[in-house]
Amino acid sequence: MKLQKKVRQELEAIIGAIEIGNSYLLSSQVAGIAHHAANPNGASYTIRNTRCLDTIAGNPPEHINIFTAHVGSKACYIDNGLRRLKRLLENCD
Asked if 11 and 47 touch (Cβ cutoff 8 Å), the reply is no
Q: How many domains does the chain have?
A: 2
Total H helices, total E strands in the chain:
3, 3
Do residues 34 and 59 share a domain?
Answer: yes
The whole-angstrom separation of Cα 9 and Cα 17 is: 12
Measure Cα distances from 83 to 6, 14, 77, 86 in Å: 21, 12, 10, 5
**Same domain assignment for residues 79 and 64:** no
pLDDT in the model for residue 52: 65
pLDDT confidence of residue 15: 95
Residue 49: the pLDDT is 64
Give yes or no: residues 35 and 22 share one domain: no
Q: Which residue segment(s) compose the domain that 56 sits in?
A: 29-69
Distance (Å, whole) CA 6 – CA 20: 21
The answer to whether residues 36 and 64 belong to one domain is yes
Same-domain check for residues 45 and 62 = yes
Per-residue pLDDT for the chain (93 aa), expressed as one digit of tens each? 788 999 999 999 999 999 998 888 778 777 777 666 666 566 666 666 666 666 666 666 665 666 666 555 666 778 888 999 999 999 887
